Structure 1
Amino acid sequence: MGRAVWFPTEGDIKQSRLGRLMAKVGTESADEFHKRSVQDAAWFWETVEKDLGFVWDRPYRQVLDTSKGIPWARWFVEGGFNVSVNALDRWVEKPSTRHRLALIWEGDNGEVQKWTYRELWTEVNRAARGLRKLGIGEGDRVAIYLPMVVENVVAMLAVARIGAIFTPCFSGYGAEAVATRLRDCEAKVLITADGFLRRGKTVNMKEEADKAAEQSPSVQHVVVVRRLGRQIPAFPRDVDWSNMLSADRTPLTAASTDADHPFMIIYTSGTTGRPKGTVHVHAGFPVKAAFDAGYGMDLDEGSVLFWMTDMGWMMGPWMVFGSLLTGTTMLLFEGTPDYPHPDRMWRLVEDHGVTHLGLSPTVVRALMKHGDEWVKGCHLESLRVFGSTGEPWNPEPWQWLFETVGQKRAPIWNYSGGTEISGGILATNLMKPIAPCSFSGPMPGMDADVVNEQGKSIRREVGELVVRQPWVGMTRGFWRDPDRYEQTYWERFPGVWVHGDWVEVDEDGFWYITGRSDDTLKIAGKRLGPAEMESTLVDHPAVLESATIGVPDADKGEAAVCFVILKAEADEREALRRELMAWVGERMGKALRPRAIHFVRELPKTRNGKILRRAIKAAYTGQDAGDLSSLENPDAIHAVRASHING
């Protein structure tokens, strides 16, 4: 499908964190290392945790226990591990690292704060004592409904420190979406803010939090961070964050939590039914995040990681634990990448020396349309690696990021997995050549494969992405719903995780995700990932962005319907619609010509830029879309529905 355009040097390979680990265990090639990592998963993850220098208050007796079956694998059995200690205390105890920068925060209005490891540790201890005074203990649930502020990180670590469990909620959620999560996990405390700034305007949060709390009988306290200092409604259950913080700044001994003690329930939306509460444990999600960030993205001492995300999405906690467990620095950003000017993203990189920048293809497309001059006016020499996740790439924005922004110097670390994975299944390997839009293949420790409908391995054709062996970070089921967990991932091929992505491996060994398997079209017997047709449309000079769904068709079984956002200079005329239909037919074959193309102003997306095709399909066909609480722009659904009604 593509030829490599970026190549690592011998020095890059030897100096990388992964290269150093490989040398330590006597492995010469990346392929050989991956093979060892899946042939002996226990050896691999024990090697990783020791190389990361984790602190255990009780040694583990066994690395991996699958006595209850692969879906319920346990790691580091009987080991004592608290993620708060490993994220903070072990750095604070050393004079050489306690004053290292842990966190940089920049607000929408340009305000900046910087926190060292010691300062962050002190604040976490104060918050942990405060939570205990509110009656929170081991196993209790605390929901965190905050914008991208420092208190978000402090709250996560404080909850983990005392052995409680936090549930991060997307800052853009309305009351009902928050209440659904509060009720499901029976949270005792809801931590929120009076509001935050977005594109220079105030976004109220406390009012939504109050509505959610009223619908959630388990909530005893609402803790309020005063981000803006605005007038807000007051209730007897309210506690001001600053009043909750203990005046006692002495260390609070962390709870002696087991390695498999839950520390986070993070919800992910399904195609049907209520959101799924994925359960993650102290020596699970954080260990996987630290490996992926440290060895996959090559995060090392002196690195500054900035991923454009929200704490309600997996990549938010991933950034927190990926940076703190590797002793590096994270950047939190409250605002949007093109406000007040289209160079805001690039100014963040320049001002804070960002070395590792994570952003979605959708964000790149949005910034690309503003033109090259906004990039060329910034100094981006600090950038070493781009990260990307959430959706498949189109060639044009990938090339623009690589060539115009990165000057063909910084590789794009393509990364795909999920909330239930704690990180990636597939990724670009920075020790190998990189082709546009591709993955090198499975990450170390991930025994991934591509299979047909019978579960047999295939190559050079589209198949289902599966994982054949357990890995550190796999969810410990869904919160109080083990049957749903087994049915979702393990029922189709017993003992094999079915992820829900369509993947193809080309003749050069590059892997490509063609879309979600529940998004996949089958037109006249040909299976087609929506990304393939979307890429074809985006190649047209008039098209900025597109989304494709499949609808029932009497002749072909299924037909494609496309939704297109045009570039500013293009006209929404019938002639252009016909031209685009012909464009697809000429490039993909007449049998794959769309049934219809609709022009829209926006596509339904999550806050991190992922297009919700299932929501588009449901709106267009008049079906139930399931949970839509993650939508950033619900009005886009109305436009899709109207396009069907109006033909």
Structure 2
Amino acid sequence: MKFANALKELGVKKGTPVGIYMGMVPETAVAMLACTRLGAPHTVVFGGFSADSLSGRMNDMGCELLITQDEGWRAGKTVPLKVNADAAVADSPSVERVVVYRRTDGDVPFDDSRDVWWHEAVEGKSDDPESCPCEPMDAEDLLYLLYTSGTTAKPKGIVHTTAGYLVGVATTHHYIFDVKPDSVYWCAADVGWVTGHSYIVYGPLCNGTTGVMYEGVPNHPDPARWWSIIERYKVDILYTAPTAIRSHMKWGPEWAQKHDLSSLRLLGSVGEPINPEAWVWYREHIGGDRTPVVDTWWQTETGMILITPLPGVTTLKPGSATKPFPGVEAAVFSESGEEVGPGGGGYLVLERPWPAMLRGIHGDDARYRETYWSKYDNVYFAGDGARIDEDGDFWLLGRVDDVMNVSGHRISTIEVESALVDHQKVAEAAVCGRKDDRTGQAIVAYVTLKGGAEGSLEMLEELRNHVGTKIGPIAKPANIVFTPELPKTRSGKIMRRLLRDVAENRELGDTTTLADPTVVEEIKTRATSETREE
């Protein structure tokens, strides 16, 4: 309430676009809810993203105010949020004011003409709800934009509106997680992603659920960190990503065994398909071989969980998201648009609307229609592969387009390629994902340097860091292969399919359309000698 009054004093009102670039602190949720109370749409940008990523999103939305913090904490080190924010605002002419939350007390730049400290802004402000009544909103008024990678270099501003979104996230949160009035629920995602929006902030708080927020990594100061939190706060519901589960598998079950996890009664998985081995380990070592595991499928675009078991109702299968949530009509289509029966695989589609569905891509209706509605008539194309087994249960197979899923984060191949080519010494780049036991997918880049220059370990590090600066550390390639040429068709199109074959160490597919078939053999040779695993 106090912060909403502070924002109102700074000129924020219904329709004012606000950017939020913060870490995992409660004030991030406070900032989101204050904006919502005023009817000001927000875009939250993940605190691990770079200044370029932040400015690109703020410029697309036309943000007039940015809420950030001095620094964040991660694995005992500080994250330079304000420094990044200043660099972003320098390239964001629409931003007039910056509110800075003091987290670390670090010495950060401060522009007295533009910046205001959070604690000073709320000083003396009323916490009486009548001092800042909720702005009346239409059901379809914009609630927030959240940017997600697409198959072009420019991220898509996914549009979520007010009423249907809240209905969707509150309902699914209540039924899928079997929430009780005294539940202590922990969604171990970041608020900067849609999982954090829907299942840390809006859904749980609408349901009045007590939640845990954790600033940091799972293995600092040691790999027992999560389990000590669960024991201390008697968490009964844990919702996390397969990547985190696989990391804990690598560190070993002994860290969990040091703590009392008997309060847990339900486990959830989100962000990517979970492999059966991780599912079984999660239930056995974290759930005491007694808790249900709800493996959920949904997207930034869907806003809410769409395919999921219901605890106590659905027969669980390790690795399967099982059935659509009641009211959701999902199917698997062949390339030609025919529904695939049990045992078959193809493209996941949704055949009727659902409450929290995206309402568009901000400022780009043509891209919205092309991305989600052009492949088949009158059905939503999810961009994921899937199959349905003989029991009618869904098994998700991952992305079918040029978007990679790294640790549950969607990263566009084109976005990483654009960042690489932005480097002054890079002539050309192609990027693909390859399977990775820990992160789901890892990024592999094939790079041609200008002037026919040869690659080196120093150049490899320079390029990885360049991508980290342009996009964020999550987008750094795990492998870079330097090559004089990229495999191209006679029309000049890069054959990424063959690069994926090389990355996965598979038998090469058809090479007859290549302008120079020897190029891909050369890349195969180099891939064994010029790669580096992070």
TM-score by length of 1: 0.65
Q: Equivalent of 1:379, from 245, 251, 260? A: 260
Aligned to 2:115: 238
Letter in 2 for 1:370: W
Is the Cα contact below 8 Å between 1:129 and 1:246 reproduced in 2?
no
Aligned to 2:133: 253
Aligned to 1:151: 27
1-structure distance, mates of 2:107, 2:297: 42
Aligned to 2:477: 636
Matched residue SS, 2:145: strand
Change (3 A) 1:562 1:154: closer
Letter in 1 for 2:229: L
Matched residue SS, 1:611: strand
Q: Equivalent of 1:175, from 35, 48, 51? A: 51
1-structure distance, mates of 2:92, 2:14: 21
Q: Equivalent of 2:394, from 483, 503, 511? A: 511
Q: Equivalent of 1:486, from 358, 369, 390? A: 369
Letter in 2 for 1:151: E
Is the Cα contact below 8 Å between 1:199 and 1:340 reproduced in 2?
yes
- In the alignment, structure 1 segments of 5+ residues that lack a partner are 1-124, 521-528, 532-548, 550-559, 566-602, 604-608
Letter in 2 for 1:611: Q
Matched residue SS, 1:508: coil
Could you give the per-residue CA deviations for residues 320-363 of structure 1, whole angstroms, max 9, x where no partner exists?
Answer: 11111111111110011111111111111111111111111111
Aligned to 2:207: 326
Q: Equivalent of 2:77, from 201, 204, 212? A: 201
Matched residue SS, 1:416: coil
Aligned to 1:130: 6
Could you give the per-residue CA deviations for residues 250-283 of structure 1, whole angstroms, max 9, x where no partner exists?
Answer: 2221111111111111111112131111111111
Matched residue SS, 2:377: coil
Q: Equivalent of 1:345, from 213, 218, 226? A: 226
2-structure distance, mates of 1:472, 1:482: 20
Query: Following superposition of structure 1 onto structure 2, how do residues 36-185 of structure 1 map, counting pairs within 5 Å?
Result: 125-185=1-61
Matched residue SS, 2:305: strand
Is the Cα contact below 8 Å between 2:20 and 2:67 reproduced in 1?
yes
Aligned to 1:282: 162
Aligned to 1:611: 441
Match status 1:455 vs 2:455: no
2-structure distance, mates of 1:467, 1:498: 7
Letter in 2 for 1:509: G
Q: CA deviation at 1:634?
A: 4.0
1-structure distance, mates of 2:305, 2:182: 23
2-structure distance, mates of 1:477, 1:646: 40
Change (3 A) 1:219 1:518: same
Query: Following superposition of structure 1 onto structure 2, how do residues 450-599 of structure 1 map, counting pairs within 5 Å?
Result: 450-459=332-341, 460-518=343-401
Aligned to 2:149: 269
Change (3 A) 1:390 1:330: same
Q: CA deviation at 1:630?
A: 6.3
Change (3 A) 1:630 1:425: farther
Q: Equivalent of 2:99, from 200, 223, 243? A: 223
Query: Following superposition of structure 1 onto structure 2, how do residues 408-447 of structure 1 map, counting pairs within 5 Å?
Result: 408-430=289-311, 431-447=313-329
1-structure distance, mates of 2:440, 2:95: 31
Matched residue SS, 1:382: coil
Aligned to 1:16: none
Q: CA deviation at 1:142?
A: 0.5
Could you give the per-residue CA deviations for residues 496-542 of structure 1, whole angstroms, max 9, x where no partner exists?
Answer: 1000111111113321111212269xxxxxxxx999xxxxxxxxxxx
1-structure distance, mates of 2:345, 2:39: 44
Is the Cα contact below 8 Å between 1:356 and 1:386 reproduced in 2?
yes
2-structure distance, mates of 1:204, 1:562: 31
Could you give the per-residue CA deviations for residues 2-31 of structure 1, whole angstroms, max 9, x where no partner exists?
Answer: xxxxxxxxxxxxxxxxxxxxxxxxxxxxxx
1-structure distance, mates of 2:222, 2:340: 47
Q: CA deviation at 1:610?
A: 5.8
Letter in 2 for 1:174: S
Matched residue SS, 2:282: helix
Q: Equivalent of 1:296, from 167, 173, 176? A: 176
Letter in 1 for 2:441: I
Range that drifts further, 636-645 or 455-464: 636-645
Could you give the per-residue CA deviations for residues 407-466 of structure 1, whole angstroms, max 9, x where no partner exists?
Answer: 221111111111110022211222111011112211112111111112111121111110
Letter in 2 for 1:261: D
1-structure distance, mates of 2:257, 2:223: 12
2-structure distance, mates of 1:321, 1:226: 24
Match status 1:394 vs 2:275: yes
Q: Moved runs in structure 1, 4+ residues, more than 6 A?
A: 627-630
Could you give the per-residue CA deviations for residues 135-180 of structure 1, whole angstroms, max 9, x where no partner exists?
Answer: 1111111000000101101100000001110100001011000000
Matched residue SS, 1:167: strand
Could you give the per-residue CA deviations for residues 101-134 of structure 1, whole angstroms, max 9, x where no partner exists?
Answer: xxxxxxxxxxxxxxxxxxxxxxxx1111111111
Q: CA deviation at 1:632?
A: 3.7
1-structure distance, mates of 2:329, 2:393: 16
Q: CA deviation at 1:229?
A: 0.8
Matched residue SS, 1:418: coil
2-structure distance, mates of 1:390, 1:495: 26
Is the Cα contact below 8 Å between 1:402 and 1:410 reproduced in 2?
yes
- In the alignment, structure 2 segments of 5+ residues that lack a partner are 407-412, 414-431, 450-463, 484-502, 504-522, 529-534
Aligned to 2:519: none
Change (3 A) 1:406 1:221: same
1-structure distance, mates of 2:7, 2:448: 46
Letter in 2 for 1:405: I
Letter in 1 for 2:226: M
Matched residue SS, 2:340: coil
Q: CA deviation at 1:306?
A: 1.1
2-structure distance, mates of 1:393, 1:466: 20
Q: CA deviation at 1:637?
A: 4.0
Q: CA deviation at 1:640?
A: 5.8
Aligned to 2:87: 211
Q: Looking at both structures, which has the greater relative contact order when contacts are Cα pairs under 8 Å and sequence separation is at least 6?
A: 1
Change (3 A) 1:509 1:564: closer
Q: CA deviation at 1:631?
A: 5.1
What is the number of equivalent residue pairs in this alignment? 440
Letter in 2 for 1:434: L
Could you give the per-residue CA deviations for residues 72-100 of structure 1, whole angstroms, max 9, x where no partner exists?
Answer: xxxxxxxxxxxxxxxxxxxxxxxxxxxxx
Is the Cα contact below 8 Å between 1:416 and 1:423 reproduced in 2?
no
Is the Cα contact below 8 Å between 2:447 and 2:481 reproduced in 1?
no
Aligned to 2:194: 314
Aligned to 2:512: none
Change (3 A) 1:631 1:447: farther
The CA RMSD over aligned residues, in Å, is: 2.6
Aligned to 1:369: 250
TM-score by length of 2: 0.78
Range that drifts further, 146-155 or 511-520: 511-520
1-structure distance, mates of 2:289, 2:109: 52
Change (3 A) 1:367 1:274: same
Change (3 A) 1:157 1:562: closer
1-structure distance, mates of 2:245, 2:120: 41
Letter in 2 for 1:275: P
Could you give the per-residue CA deviations for residues 224-243 of structure 1, whole angstroms, max 9, x where no partner exists?
Answer: 00001111111121110111
Letter in 1 for 2:318: P
